[in-house]
Amino acid sequence: MKRVVKIAILLAVMSGIFAVGGCSKGEKSEGETSPAQSTQSAPAQGNYTPAPDFALPDLDGKTVKLSNFRGKVIILDFWATWCRPCVMEIPSFVKLQKKYKDDLVVIGVDLDTKRSVDYIKNFADKHDMNYTIVLGIADPSVIQKYGNIRSIPTTFFIDRNGYIREKFVGVHPYEAIEEVVKKLVEEKSAI
């Protein structure tokens, strides 16, 4: 009987981890995950939600404002160095930043609370992160502005006019991410 209970608990825990495909804030994911379902963050018919602006320091202490990138497609990824699914997506963001460099800006909002800036810089160098990293813990209200993020990675796709067009929770394959980016890059800006 105890063995059956242990197996049931193990299956419940595993299904929770695999269904979300991400890390809960403050917890480490120890296993591989499968892609999570994407959810539209805005209603249909073009009534999209404006992306909340923020001003956060980057790894060199310079202030980065989301609004400074109006006119570009933005991938806004909430992540942490300890989150395996987050790390699994880094190569996709690196590749997309290179491929769409004229039209795309990738911003990683780091949510590490126990890592130094030097640690995060070294991590970014080790993973060849060619995109902007900002420190989300400098202003925790940013997490609330984006829907009180509870699981990472959580990635927002923002169009050239500053509207959230798509939201992914959990790890996704390169092809799924590029499909959204390509669609937004091909759209014309109203600016």
Per domain, the residue ranges of the chain are 2-186
Span 58-73, pLDDT tens digits: 999 999 999 999 999 9
pLDDT in the model for residue 86: 97
- pLDDT bin (cut points 50, 70, 90) of residue 8 is very low
- Taking CA 174 as the corner, what is the angle to CA 24 and CA 35, rounded to the nearest 5 degrees? 40
The whole-number average pLDDT for the span 40-55 is 70
- Our measurement of the distance from residue 138's CA atom to the centroid of its chain's CA atoms, rounded to an integer in Å, reads 17
Assign domain 2-186 one CATH number from 3.40.30.10, 3.20.20.70, 3.40.50.200, 3.30.70.1450: 3.40.30.10
**Amino acid at position 123, single letter:** F
Q: Do residues 108 and 93 touch, judged by C-beta distance below 8 A? A: yes
pLDDT in the model for residue 47: 79
pTM metric for this prediction? 0.78
Span 24-43, pLDDT tens digits: 654 433 332 333 333 333 33
